[in-house]
Chains A and B, each alone.
Chain A
Amino acid sequence: MNSKQKYVIVLAVILIAVAAILWLTSGGEILSKDGIWVEKPMTELDKVLGQQPQLEFKEQFTLGLLPHTAVFVGLVVFISAIFFYVFKSKKQRRLNEANN
């Protein structure tokens, strides 16, 4: 493994770690969500009538493992693998040329 390949691996690990941290800090949800249900503020009369808070939908993106984090990690692995191969090939090529 040459130094360029090491950089590729380090960069890939950093990107995957950042994605994992972002996913975990977003709540560690399995699926991404476009919004969340939030409780509406209650009136005094609603409380007197024994009602529980009603729900209303609020648009708010929540990063989930699927598909966003998984797709990002997959792309990072795929691109890293390509670069790893390209750099390996160049080294190999140089070695082959030197032998010749």
Chain B
Amino acid sequence: MKQIIKSLLIVLLVVAVSLAQGFKVKASGEKTFNFEDKKGRNQASFFSTTPLEDITGVSNAVKGKITFNVADIKTLKGSISIPVSSLKTGIELRDEHMKSKNWMDAESYPDVTFLIKNVSDIKIEADNKMQIKATGDFTAHGVTKEIVVPVTLIYLDESEQTSQRAPGDLLGVQTTFKIVLSDYDVENMIVGQKVADDIEINVNIVGSSAM
């Protein structure tokens, strides 16, 4: 009887391991990636388009951490945030307006944050590359909404090439998604005229497991 239970447990373990979808890389176990790059090479940008004006804004002050078991991406948890004060649109006066109480209110709500709660729709494209749908809480202007964003992840084991950027293993994260400003109580009169209600957000970041 004991042997049967033992065999069943082994089978269950093998099934669980084979069902787990993760990276097939040299690294193993749980890894935490830090996305704070002191050289400002990680970037998040937004794009607004209206018939009157196109506005692009960027931040190179992305911060946050993601943790997951390399062999099972469903264990992924973490958050990424951007200080509102770091956003630049190329016009200083416009930046001041954007951070003011009428817009993003950087003083009261200093960060825009995405807290990852779970991962689904995993599509493995290569041993070190996969596309996932990350479900999480997106917080902006003090309002939190659950959203689902498509994310591309690329894992690189530490090598001479990766050390040019940062020590440790590297995780490349790329995502593009849209948010609706009015969902986050940003309802300035100018929204819809010079600033679109639908804002496209683009995130290009690389995290290191050794930072």
Binding site for B on A (CB under 8 A): 30-31, 33-37, 43-46, 48-52, 54-55, 57
Q: How large is the interface on B (under 10, 10 to 19, 20 to 34, 35 or more residues)?
A: 20 to 34
Chain B residues with Cβ below 8 Å from A46 are: 206
Q: Is there an interface contact between A45 and B154, defined as CB atoms closer than 8 Å?
A: no
Known contacts A37-B56, A37-B58, A57-B88: does B154 contact A48 (CB below 8 Å)? yes
Closest Cβ of chain A to B101, distance in Å, is 24
Q: Is there an interface contact between A54 and B156, defined as CB atoms closer than 8 Å?
A: no
Could you name 19 residue pairs across A and B whose Cβ atoms are closer than 8 Å? A31-B52, A31-B53, A34-B90, A45-B165, A48-B154, A48-B161, A49-B154, A49-B170, A50-B129, A50-B153, A51-B206, A52-B174, A52-B202, A54-B43, A54-B58, A55-B43, A55-B58, A57-B88, A57-B90
CA distance A4 to B204 in the complex (A): 63
Question: Within 8 Å of chain A (Cβ to Cβ): is B162?
Answer: yes
Please encode chain B, from 146 to 183, with 1 for each CB lying within 8 Å of some chain A CB and 0 for all others: 00000011101000011011000010101000000000
Question: Within 8 Å of chain A (Cβ to Cβ): is B91?
Answer: yes
CA distance A54 to B88 in the complex (A): 14
Partner of B206, one of A30, A31, A44, A49: A49
Closest Cβ of chain A to B168, distance in Å, is 14
Q: Is there an interface contact between A35 and B90, defined as CB atoms closer than 8 Å?
A: yes
